Amino acid sequence: MTSQARVTNSHAPTGNIIRDSALGLVPETLGNYMDLNRQLWEGGPLSPAEIEIARIRNARKVNCVFCKSVRYDIAQEDGLSEDRVQMIDDDYEQSNLTDREKLILAFTDQYLNDPAGLDSALKERLRQVFTPQELVHLSMVVAFFNGFSRCAVAIGGMPDELPVMTISVPQ
């Protein structure tokens, strides 16, 4: 991880953590991405806690320091505690997460490692637990967060670690 940013935002701070980042240098497109972010959190069939589980798993796999440190308030309000977040590690199968939550992690890992390589057993388990709409939503969530976390890592400028911080879905 590099603590030297490749790109920085020199504009006056707005108080919005995303708009104040280097992503704020392209406000013409950032607004659309933030609208999609809000729709993914608020408009789909998955719960905020389920979305957060996939988002945090992606962050840990990509090693985005910022994304690993963020907790969305709506996921916390939906019941995702920090104790549960700590179970989103490589030993999640032995954790107290629900079977549905474990499947979200298994799907996220598969999506990040080899999206075309879903074996028949995982496909069947996913079909038994999730509706087709939920699976599409989960795919979109992982794709969106993976793209943004990779962008953050590529831009650089992150410290080695950050404290856990709670934010709201950006407006």
The yes-or-no verdict on residue 15 having pLDDT over 90 is no
The yes-or-no verdict on residue 102 having pLDDT over 80 is yes
Q: What is the pLDDT of residue 3?
A: 56
Choose between 29 and 5: higher pLDDT.
29
* Count of structural domains, the chain: 1
Q: What is the DSSP string of 107-147?
A: HHHHHHH-GGG--HHHHHHHHHHS-HHHHHHHHHHHHHHHH
Helix (H, G, I), strand (E, B) or coil at 5: strand
Range of the domain at 89: 22-167
Tokens of 82: 């920090």
Q: What is the mean pLDDT of the chain?
A: 90
Q: State the maximum Cα–Cα separation within the chain, in Å, rounded to a whole number.
A: 52
Q: Let me know if residue 26 belongs to a domain.
A: yes
| Each residue's pLDDT tens digit, 64-92 | 988 999 999 999 999 999 999 999 999 99
| Each residue's pLDDT tens digit, 20-61 | 777 777 888 888 888 999 999 999 999 999 999 999 999 999
Q: What is the pLDDT of residue 7?
A: 62
Q: Let me know if residue 5 belongs to a domain.
A: no
Q: Let me know if residue 12 belongs to a domain.
A: no
Place of tokens 């943004």: 148
Look at phi and psi of residue 89 and say left if phi exceeds 0, alpha if psi is from -120 to 50, else beta.
Answer: beta
- Determine how β-strand 165-167 pairs with β-strand 70-72: parallel
Q: For residues 24 and 102, what is the distance between their CA atoms, to the nearest angstrom?
A: 35
Q: What is the pLDDT of residue 1?
A: 46
Q: Let me know if residue 62 belongs to a domain.
A: yes
Cα-based distances in Å from 90 to 93, 106, 121, 148, 149: 8, 10, 20, 22, 19
Helix (H, G, I), strand (E, B) or coil at 72: strand
Q: Let me know if residue 142 belongs to a domain.
A: yes
CATH number at residue 29: 1.20.1290.10
The yes-or-no verdict on residue 100 having pLDDT over 90 is yes
